[in-house]
Amino acid sequence: EPEVTQTPSHQVTQMGQEVILRCVPISNHLYFYWYRQILGQKVEFLVSFYNNEISEKSEIFDDQFSVERPDGSNFTLKIRSTKLEDSAMYFCASTRDGTAFSYEQYFGPGTRLTVT
Amino acid sequence: AQSVTQLDSHVSVSEGTPVLLRCNYSSSYSPSLFWYVQHPNKGLQLLLKYTSAATLVKGINGFEAEFKKSETSFHLTKPSAHMSDAAEYFCVVSDLLGNTPLVFGKGTRLSVIA
């Protein structure tokens, strides 16, 4: 069964460093998402991406964050200058299309980011 | 704005007994509602979804949920718990029109005692 994959599973970085989290969505999917979950808190939406541009973003997704689909398979989340409060589990998701009745977001296993 | 309240942060049941995980939602639009499960060190897996068809929705692994508009609830049930059901469960709401961000509840951790 096709699945969303994410690498690395765990990333440790120092405050102020740049990190890139990588995701490979399911191959025929068109919409891509990043969510994060700070330990003990809710899963929160960050950004959605369609047709090579951001379609929606939350207030969390500030100028420190960017997303990119550099080739036909990868979808990346970059944090330019990490802060302690960026420590969280980051989930990538994808969906085939935007119609309500087939709508299901498939999630990857997550990348745990630890900022020290 | 949409929101989800999961009424219990932790539920503990004995193996073979029924499971009830409670969820209430708030939505300005006709909602889509979902239950996702997360096993340790695994991604989020869709259990079931409601998208304005039948109000009683059957999912994987024997789970089901009933959409009750009058009560703004979407509780998850299973007649008989199995040890493998121990996990974190998330109730999620989205706009029925699709391709909108999912709004998650805080999650309910289900423990199953042998």
- Is the CB of A44 inside 8 Å of chain B's CB atoms? yes
CB A31 within 8 A of CB A97: yes
Give the model confidence (pLDDT) of B69-91 as tens digits. 999 999 999 999 999 999 999 99
What pLDDT does A99 receive? 55
- Is the CB of A99 inside 8 Å of chain B's CB atoms? yes
Give the model confidence (pLDDT) of A53-101 as tens digits. 998 999 999 999 999 998 878 999 999 999 999 999 999 999 887 554 4
| Residues of chain A by 3-state class (helix, strand, coil), percent to 5 | 5, 50, 45
A-B contacts (CB, under 8 Å): 66
Q: Find, among B90, B101, B113, B96, the residue nearest to A61 by Cα.
A: B101
